[in-house]
Amino acid sequence: MLRFLGLRVSRALLTMVLVVTFAFVVLRLSGDPALLIMSADAPPEAIAAFRQAWGLNDPIWEQYLRYFSAIFRGDLGQSMRDGRPAIELVAERIPATLALTLPALAIKLGLGIPAGIYAALHRNSFADRAVMLLAVAGFTVPSFVLGLVLVLVFAVQLGWLPSGGQESWRHAVLPVLTLGIGGAAVLARFTRSAMLEVLGQPYMRTALAKGVPWARAVRRHALPNAAIPTVTIVGFMVGSLLAGAVVVESVFSWPGVGRLLVVAVANRDLAVVQCILLLVAATMVSANLVVDLLYGVLDPRLRSAPRGATA
Amino acid sequence: MARLSRRAALASAGASLVLPRFAIAQADQRLSVTVAVQKIANSNTLETLREQSNVGTRHGGSYGEALIEQDWLGDLRLQPGLASAWRRVDDGTLELELRPGVRFHDGREMTAEDVVFSFGPERMWRPDPTAARNLFGNVPGRTQGKAPPPEAAAIARRTYPGFERIEVVDARTVRFVNKVADPALEGRLSRTTGMVLSGAGFEASSSWLDWARRPVGTGPYKVAEFRPDQSLTLVAHDDHWRGRPPLRGIRFVEVPEVASRINMLLSGEADFACDIPPDQIGAFERSARHEVVGGPIMNHRITVFDKNHPQLRDARVRRAFTHAIDRKAIVDALWAGQAAVPRGEQFDFYGPMLIADWEAPRHDPAEARRLLREAGYKGEPIPYRLLNNYYTAQVPTAQILVEGWRAVGLNVVIEMKENFPQVLSNQGGGTATGRGVRDWSNSAAFNDPVSSLTSAHGPEGQQWQINEWRNEEFGRLSSVLEGSMSLDERRHAFRRMLEIIEREDPGYTVLHQTLNFTAKRRDLPWKPGASFFMDFSARNWAA
């Protein structure tokens, strides 16, 4: 178990280092922040002074090492555009994003998993086809289209809910639904196919042949085994809690991390972009780590299986 | 004599404390409005010496006012602002009588010293290039300073090219003293860069950035909260010299998506939605509750050339660009024929300075092909930089332009950029400039060609300063246009300058006059002016 844990943690750390490195190199090579921050009207000596002060003239590897060592001191840099610590700017926006993504996650889990299980248990029935039709629709419609349709119906036509902004809980309803419906559709499809695969396994036939009641066989044998692929998807969804709403935040003018990321990238506000990417990577990697550990809990074979062996 | 019991006396005393507040609250029945805009400020500041943009113009006049104003709602004349009167002392000196009883948002009365501060070194002329490093962030071990950003002096020089000093004559009179004669001094003073701001407010701020995000002006609304990239909240400045403003507050909300802005209006979340593309106007025509208002403003959409680009060094190639543009097709296809093709970079309100017989280059593909043949152009790629609909219908306009250019053999490659600094950057072209052709617009802030032609393209203009386009004769004539007091001489110089920059050695070419459309609640008595500025003062809120 310790080896399993050690491997997973090292892999998580390596992923984060790669993300930070990739983001650093791409951002440094894709535009000069001095020109973006200082405006084209600034005299060359001012731009040179800015570059000098922020160390932008140094070789990229030197900048990278400086940035990397600062991370270990807990310093994620300062916004060149705002003058404030990047982490402070990002932290301000996190509650707004979580206010959308957490309820949306609840909808995804609460709607998607039961719908998928129900469809699998009633395979080829009218209900199965109806659930899958809705799931395919929810899965394929892009979030910005779904968002605009919801706004047209519930805000413009019916006038029940606001169309954008962040003044009250009512403003969160449509963006949460937009995020939740798409995710629930994905989960429903995955859960259904995982369940169908498990329901066809020999151990299910054996259990039923031994006289185990259908409901009990499903509960004790099908659901836990079908949980593994579903948990993978849920892990991915948990991992994208911080940055999974970029498009929806733009459509609904919701001032969360996603919109901050868009603006920071456009302005090459390096520290802010890197800070967001680091946090997103950390969330994603942590979620995956938890998922990996859950695999072990859900399937004891994974805990003891030798390296390279299939479960 | 009526007797008053102790309980009644206490009740009366209590009521006397409560009632006035209640009465005030009751009296303030004014509306607060929400305005959905695509962008609040490009630079994330409200200081007009840094925020030189169309989007910043929209709200600048609500919190800050200049000594002389432009009548954007009427006949575009200059009219008294914070100066109640003015007179020429000589060709380079203007004496202005300050309006009494003008109060800043901090309650202080405006004085001549505030005018001195507003045009003084602390705000305009003393940017410290080395201080720039700390302007937008604390480099470890240093602190943010109060020096203005380095571009402030460049912008100030461009706006007031002959400025020497502000002279205080007495408590209510100041003199704007120029080093040279300037026929357009009054107009220059009407620009938003010349808004009078509180010197004490500047002193009280902790840094330049702090100040630039909460400037203390005299406008009918004061800055209550500015959340960069999100919202700007203004509240009524009830001590305004024109009387109480008609609105309790104005909230500008940044909504980048046009569909979202329209939805906010339709659902009642917003009262105004700005930058409505012409193809959306029809959606409001049958609406009982909403309408689209607006029309031409004193701004032209132009396309700009970098004459240092290897393929554009030959003026004939640039001239080919200007002849390959079907301006009428753009206006008809994207603006329902409502936008005018301007007579070059000039406006009717230039009055005696208007060169009435001047025209934009005619659409003549054969001439364009001939010029390219003569120039020996062999189809080498030329970059064309643009933003994603920063200007209304910018991308479809670019598509029409590119097709027109391709039709005559110009190999133009669109480069989508994320912001203006990227558009203006001269990097990306190897040893040569990376800039080729780019989109721009040009506003006339007052009724003289120096407001648009020299300020954008002359020696102090951005195009010249970033070494995109320079022309020696044009530079010399800029001095004549800016400094001569002879109408004939100025008209002659202006005509020749148009010949140079629009025909002989093109620096830009005009596309069409800008139309600015705003969707709004039908019941709100607000009217659009001939500028991006949205005037919410009492003079523009009468039923």
Between B320 and A218, the more confident residue is B320
B72-77 contacts: CB < 8 A, separation 24 or more? B72/B529, B72/B530, B72/B531, B72/B533, B72/B535, B73/B527, B73/B529, B73/B530, B73/B535, B73/B539, B73/B540, B75/B349, B76/B298, B76/B349, B76/B447, B76/B530, B77/B447
Determine contact: B50 vs chain A, CB below 8 A. Answer: yes
- Is residue B13's pLDDT more than 60? no
Interface probe for A, chosen from B269, B385, B435 (most Cβ of A below 10 Å), is B269
User: pLDDT by residue (tens digit) across B55-84?
Assistant: 889 999 999 999 999 998 888 889 999 999
Distance CA B446, CA B503 (A): 25
Residues of A whose CB is below 8 A from B48: none
Which chain A residue has the Cα nearest residue B256? A250
- Do A35 and A46 form a contact (C-beta atoms < 8 A)? no
Is B224 strand, coil or helix?
A: strand
CB atoms within 10 A of CB B68: 23
Contacts of A83 in chain B (CB under 8 A): 135-138, 144, 207, 209
Q: What is the pLDDT of residue B98?
A: 97
Chain A partners of B139 at a C-beta cutoff of 8 Å?
53-54
Say what the pLDDT of residue B27 is: 62
- Of B524 and A144, the structure prediction assigns the larger pLDDT to B524
Q: pLDDT band for position B136 (50/70/90)? A: very low
* A60 Cβ contact partners less than 8 Å away, ≥ 6 residues apart: A25, A28, A29
Nearest to B132 among A40, A46, A81 (CB): A46
**Dist. CA A251–CA A259, nearest whole Å:** 10
At A216, list the tokens.
């009990």
Q: State how far the Cα of B238 lies from the Cα of B256, in Å rounded to an integer.
A: 32
CB contact under 8 A, A49 and B268: no
Q: Look at residue A38 and tell me whether its pLDDT is greater than 60.
A: yes
The pLDDT of B398-419, averaged and rounded, is 93
Task: Tell me which of B308 and B419 has the higher pLDDT.
Answer: B308
Are the beta carbons of B209 and A83 separated by less than 8 Å?
yes
pLDDT of B154-164, one tens digit each?
788 888 988 99
Residues B286 and B280: beta-carbon distance below 8 Å? no
Q: Say whether pLDDT at B129 is over 80.
A: no
pLDDT in tens, B246-305: 999 999 999 988 888 999 999 889 999 999 988 888 888 788 899 999 988 889 999 999
How far away is chain B from the Cα of A286, in angstroms, using its nearest Cα?
30
Pairwise CB contact (< 8 Å): A163 & B44: no
Outline where DSSP puts E strands in B38-125: 68-70, 78-80, 83-90, 93-98
Residues 107 through 146 of chain A touching chain B, CB cutoff 8 Å: none
Q: Which B residues, 390 through 449, put their C-beta within 8 Å of a C-beta on chain A?
A: 418-422, 424-425, 427
Percent of residues, chain B, with pLDDT higher than 70:
90
Average pLDDT of the residues in B424-451? 81
B294 to chain A, closest Cα gap in Å: 24
For the stretch B231-245, pLDDT in tens is 999 999 999 999 999
Chain B, 253-282: which have a CB under 8 Å from a chain A CB?
253-257, 259-260, 263-264, 266-269
The pLDDT tens digits for A253-302 are 888 999 899 888 877 788 888 889 888 888 888 888 888 878 777 776 66
B143 touches chain A (CB under 8 A): no
Q: Which of residues 332-391 of B touch A (CB under 8 A)?
A: none
Confidence band, pLDDT 50/70/90 cuts, at residue B132 = very low
The answer to whether B139 faces chain A, any CB pair under 8 Å, is yes
pLDDT of residue B327: 96
Instruction: Answer whether B275's CB lies under 8 Å from B255's CB.
Output: no
A162 contacts on B by Cβ (under 8 Å):
267, 269
- Chain A residues with CB inside 8 Å of B155's CB? 41
Per-residue pLDDT, A40: 59
Most confident option among A196-210, A264-278, B310-324: B310-324
Hey, is the C-beta of B129 within 8 angstroms of any chain A C-beta?
yes
A255 touches chain B (CB under 8 A): yes
A195-204, A238-247, B405-414: segment of lowest average pLDDT = A238-247
Give yes or no for A46 touching B (CB within 8 A): yes
> What is the rounded average pLDDT for all residues in chain B?
88
Residue B391 near residue B401 (C-beta atoms within 8 A): no
CA distance B273 to chain A (A): 13
What is the pLDDT confidence band of residue B195, given thresholds at 50, 70 and 90?
Answer: very high
Helix, strand or coil, per DSSP, at residue A34: helix
Q: Does A36 touch chain B (CB under 8 A)?
A: yes
Given A49, A78, A266, which is nearest B130 (Cβ)? A49
Split at pLDDT 50, 70, 90, the class of A19 is: confident
Check if the beta carbon of residue B199 is closer than 8 Å to that of residue B113: yes
For residue B310, the model assigns a pLDDT of 93
B437 - beta bridge partners?
Answer: B305, B384
Torsion region of A308: left, alpha or beta (phi above 0 gives left; psi -120 to 50 gives alpha): left
pLDDT above 70 for B419:
yes
Residue A309, pLDDT above cutoff 60 = no
Partner residue opposite A156 with nearest CB, options B136, B151, B267: B267
Res B14 pLDDT > 70: no
pLDDT > 70 in chain A, percent: 91
